[in-house]
Structure 1
Amino acid sequence: MTSNTLTPGIIAGRLPADQLSENFSDLHPPLDDHEALVAADRCYFCHDAPCATACPTDIDIPLFIRQIATGTPDAAAKTILSQNIMGGMCARVCPTETLCEQVCVRETAEGKPVEIGNLQRYATDTLMAADVHPFERAAATGKTIAVVGAGPAGLSCAHRLAMKGHAVTVFDARPKSGGLNEYGIASYKSVGGFAAKEVDWLLKIGGITVEHGKSLGAGLSLDRLKADHDAVFLAIGLAGVNALNVEGEAKDGVLDAVDFISDLRQAGDVASVEIGRDVVVIGGGMTAVDAAVQAKLLGALNVSLVYRRGRDRMNASPFEQDLAAAKGVRIITNASPKAVIGNGAVCEIEFEYTDDDLAPTGQMFRLAADQVFKAIGQTLGGDGLPDTEGGKIAVTGAGRTSMQSVWAGGDCASGGEDLTVTAVAEGRDAAEDIHAQLMG
């Protein structure tokens, strides 16, 4: 075991290796062939399928499920991937319970939807296991496009542009491609290095060059990119993290949840990741839930997730909230942090209860904490960017910014939800618009 000198309660290896392995196994184990056929048989193949309408990437869900039912999962995968080239990861992390599965006719009639997410994973995994890339590049156009950010939006845009015959260079600050998929989701949602495998598979289209260790302001200039390329697509995400802005925030043990999740994702052995005995996560979104659940899975004795509004206002879906509660996370709502207490390192954090309008009530309480994770939103970073709106790059149409020949999509752009599936759709649609503009 290793220990933190200022906060000895934060240690690695709280649980036996076999228990950690079980805790971080696949949240939704894949369907086998028989299970997939049984699941597909439940679909009504609706003509005006509400599930397809609810899908941000407009996948023809009844068609791909029928293709599975008729024993052609490869064809089903192509149906999926033609709309969502990262359909494999989206099948793992997409909140289907609030999108396609929520509006499934079976859900409405029986309270049990068709397992659309699991069936999508079955199809895409089958194709990827066969080491097949079902798309081919068009003839070279001679046009070059720079994509800044190798996350879901950037990679989706790059793939679609490469299919059209353009030459694409993707720049990313980190040593690995994948963005949120590689660094920002719970480890139990994507096991076995799937994020990296999906990127490798996607790049088989050809025509895409990836350069790591480069970002705007660190090796890249937007003006230079515009001068050297026919178009630029910004998919830079949200690199900054909002501060609590309370007394004592700088104390040891107060960390950003995104860094904790990233460290855990990149750890060769989860047993090497240090975790506290009493952990408090502040926030109400998916990042907050992922951090809280994984803290519990690592062996933290007490984990509390504290959100300033009611549970109905949390960005995390009801499924994610219930998952956290099932893993032993205590969810406290209508409470706002006021101070971090401790001598050099955090030992408690003080909160004040709020009403539904966030007005303080004067009622205070404290939680014991040797580790606090901040998950109260991220911020856009970078100089010389296009015009912004609400803290994000302002876009119109399919990602057009205020700058000529510059598009944007994903978390850094205004408009869509901060979901992997939405980012993929925005990258794809921007690529189509870029292609149309370049080809006249």
Structure 2
Amino acid sequence: MRRMNETRPFRPDIGAGRLAPDKLAGNFSDIHPPLEQHEALVEADRCYFCYDAPCMTACPTSIDIPLFIREIQAGNPTGAAKTILSANILGGMCARVCPTETLCEEVCVREVGEGKPVKIGLLQRYATDHLMEAGEHPFTRAEPTGRTIAVVGAGPSGLSCAHRLALHGHDVTLFDARPKPGGLNEYGIAAYKATEQFAQREVDFILSIGGITLETGKALGRDIHLADLRRDYDAVFLGLGLAGVNALGAEGETSSGSADAVAWIADLRQTTDLANLPVGRRVVVIGGGMTAVDAAVQAKALGAEEVTIAYRRGQDAMNASAYEQEIAQTRGVQIRCHLQPKSILAEGGHVRGIELERTRVEDGRLAGTGETVTIEADQIFKAIGQSFLPDGLDDESDGIALERGRIRVDAERRTSLKGVWAGGDCIFEGEDLTVVAVEDGKVAAESIHAALAAENGLGARIAGVMSDAVEALTPGRI
């Protein structure tokens, strides 16, 4: 890496079309090619079908993993997909983006005993892809109950909640501030993890249950208001995600060439031609999570020559899993640890490098050493976490309770406001995982359904609908 040279005229090198189209296509091809039928059968045969399956316990949505693998082994991928989707309606995307290496596959008996787990994620994808390609929704909506629910946010938690409520016969209006539904799955995941417009195809599949009206370009607090939703609908679910981006707090942060990694990934996901997306020749990403890895790997895939992830603690403390770190390193990204940003160096209003201070851990706390290093860069991405913006929640006279900056909920995802539930990243202790958000939406939907069933005059009829729907979702009956 070249050193900063103050005597040389500075010219930022950010450009598009650094790589030939075929090279770009290869760099952004599916990171995990799907299993062929024979491969899936061989892999399914490796499962021990544990009675007290630790993999099922490790799955936030409690998918019956031994059952769906046995169904694949028996030559019934459609049945396997129904088992998966009865617990996780976004099972197709989760098969692509879940950190299975730290969830189901980490506790697989094969992993514990042999260091080589059953490829649960790829088997899940094999089954769900098979069913989605058939073009038919596997579940039948219950008879309409006449009840209406507003779901704000068409990300994983909102989609999960909307689908489960529609399945129970309720009418759902699904609002989202962006032009397209999908949330993180559409705008925030690396393009090589969800290829061929899979996020939108999965949304179409979910909406095909019926009973869900989608309204995009509707932001809470701007176009729709919580007080109105509470008045006009029988229940409200908030799946607002995290719209805020944490600042570095470093000098020169607003210089041209310094950007939010989340916004940049969203732009990349929405571009129709990767060859037209500009990237720096030398890129530095600040952060240690999945977003940092996704930004760094994709910058390299676009043709950046030098890409560095700078993280303030040791590599074992990074939020990105060891597997994700390996992806970055094998694709040419350098990971440098114990470095925290001090100032962004700019010339003519544009980034030319970043000064970082070396750190160490003293008595469990991070401390600066006073020693600094400088990395030359044309482009710097900030990926140090996101925050919840309570836009649209302050128009309620009694307010909605927050805890540590996020919405406080109980075990059933009920908020402090009557008739309002919430889930996903916007809630306190919410995790930045698609599968956890899906579970939040599912739990909230069942709680909403039960609350409606308990109301006067509707208990018996809705309880009957609930019983029918639950029976239809029971693995082994579908």
**Could you tell me which residue of structure 1 aligns to residue 356 of structure 2?**
351
**Could you tell me which residue of structure 2 aligns to residue 129 of structure 1?**
133
- Give the Cα separation in 1 of the matches to 2:403 and 2:11: 41
- Give the Cα separation in 1 of the matches to 2:252 and 2:437: 36
Q: CA deviation at 1:218?
A: 1.8
Superimposed CA distance per residue, residues 91-119 of structure 1 (whole angstroms, 9 cap, x where no aligned partner): 00000000000100111111110000000
**Could you tell me which residue of structure 2 aligns to residue 243 of structure 1?**
247
Q: CA RMSD in A?
A: 1.0
- Give the Cα separation in 2 of the matches to 1:404 and 1:334: 46
**Could you tell me which residue of structure 2 aligns to residue 372 of structure 1?**
380
Q: Secondary structure at the match of 1:195?
A: helix
Alignment-mate amino acid for residue 185 of structure 1: I
Q: CA deviation at 1:334?
A: 1.5
Summarize the alignment of residues 232-311 of structure 1 with structure 2, pairs less than 5 Å apart.
232-311=236-315
The alignment status of 1:387 with 2:387, answered yes or no, reads no
Alignment-mate amino acid for residue 261 of structure 1: I
- Give the Cα separation in 2 of the matches to 1:93 and 1:405: 32
Alignment-mate amino acid for residue 258 of structure 1: V
* Cα contact 1:235–1:408 (8 A) shared by 2: yes
Alignment-mate amino acid for residue 369 of structure 1: A
- Give the Cα separation in 1 of the matches to 2:117 and 2:160: 28
Superimposed CA distance per residue, residues 364-387 of structure 1 (whole angstroms, 9 cap, x where no aligned partner): 111101100001111111142521
Q: CA deviation at 1:308?
A: 1.2
**TM-score, normalised on structure 1?**
0.98
The alignment status of 1:65 with 2:69, answered yes or no, reads yes
- Give the Cα separation in 2 of the matches to 1:313 and 1:390: 22
Partner residue of 2:200 out of 196, 199, 216: 196
Summarize the alignment of residues 91-240 of structure 1 with structure 2, pairs less than 5 Å apart.
91-240=95-244
Alignment-mate amino acid for residue 286 of structure 2: I
**Could you tell me which residue of structure 1 aligns to residue 319 of structure 2?**
315
Q: CA deviation at 1:55?
A: 0.3
Count the aligned residue pairs.
Answer: 435
- Give the Cα separation in 1 of the matches to 2:315 and 2:447: 39
Q: 1:360 to 1:230 in 2, by over 3 A?
A: same
**Could you tell me which residue of structure 1 aligns to residue 429 of structure 2?**
415
Partner residue of 1:432 out of 439, 446, 451: 446
- Give the Cα separation in 1 of the matches to 2:11 and 2:80: 52
Query: Which deviates more, 138-147 or 150-159?
Result: 138-147
Superimposed CA distance per residue, residues 221-257 of structure 1 (whole angstroms, 9 cap, x where no aligned partner): 1111111111110001001111111110110000000
Superimposed CA distance per residue, residues 39-67 of structure 1 (whole angstroms, 9 cap, x where no aligned partner): 10100001011100000000000000000
The alignment status of 1:55 with 2:59, answered yes or no, reads yes
Name structure 1 gaps, 5 residues minimum. 1-5
Name the larger-Rg structure: 2
* Cα contact 2:225–2:392 (8 A) shared by 1: no
* Cα contact 2:152–2:176 (8 A) shared by 1: yes
Q: Secondary structure at the match of 1:140?
A: coil
* Cα contact 1:7–1:253 (8 A) shared by 2: no
Q: Secondary structure at the match of 1:337?
A: strand
Percent of paired sites with the same residue: 63
Superimposed CA distance per residue, residues 378-431 of structure 1 (whole angstroms, 9 cap, x where no aligned partner): 111114252111221111112111111111000111123210000001100100
Alignment-mate amino acid for residue 350 of structure 1: E
Alignment-mate amino acid for residue 396 of structure 1: D
Alignment-mate amino acid for residue 367 of structure 1: I
* Cα contact 1:149–1:170 (8 A) shared by 2: yes
Alignment-mate amino acid for residue 214 of structure 1: K
- Give the Cα separation in 2 of the matches to 1:227 and 1:208: 19
* Cα contact 1:7–1:345 (8 A) shared by 2: no
* Cα contact 2:12–2:351 (8 A) shared by 1: no
- Give the Cα separation in 1 of the matches to 2:37 and 2:170: 38
Q: CA deviation at 1:272?
A: 1.1
- Give the Cα separation in 1 of the matches to 2:392 and 2:206: 30
**Could you tell me which residue of structure 2 aligns to residue 3 of structure 1?**
none
Query: Which deviates more, 171-180 or 307-316?
Result: 307-316
Alignment-mate amino acid for residue 432 of structure 1: E
- Give the Cα separation in 2 of the matches to 1:383 and 1:46: 47
Q: Secondary structure at the match of 1:358?
A: strand
**TM-score, normalised on structure 2?**
0.90
Q: Secondary structure at the match of 2:308?
A: strand
Name structure 2 gaps, 5 residues minimum. 1-9, 395-399, 455-478
Superimposed CA distance per residue, residues 331-350 of structure 1 (whole angstroms, 9 cap, x where no aligned partner): 11111101011121010101
- Give the Cα separation in 2 of the matches to 1:34 and 1:74: 16
The alignment status of 1:24 with 2:33, answered yes or no, reads no
- Give the Cα separation in 2 of the matches to 1:428 and 1:83: 8
Query: Which deviates more, 415-424 or 182-191?
Result: 415-424
Superimposed CA distance per residue, residues 132-188 of structure 1 (whole angstroms, 9 cap, x where no aligned partner): 211111111111100000000000000000011111000001111100000000000
* Cα contact 2:285–2:296 (8 A) shared by 1: yes
Superimposed CA distance per residue, residues 302-329 of structure 1 (whole angstroms, 9 cap, x where no aligned partner): 1010111111211111100111011111
**Could you tell me which residue of structure 2 aligns to residue 397 of structure 1?**
411
Alignment-mate amino acid for residue 381 of structure 2: F
* Cα contact 1:169–1:211 (8 A) shared by 2: yes
Superimposed CA distance per residue, residues 273-313 of structure 1 (whole angstroms, 9 cap, x where no aligned partner): 11001100001111110000101111111101011111121
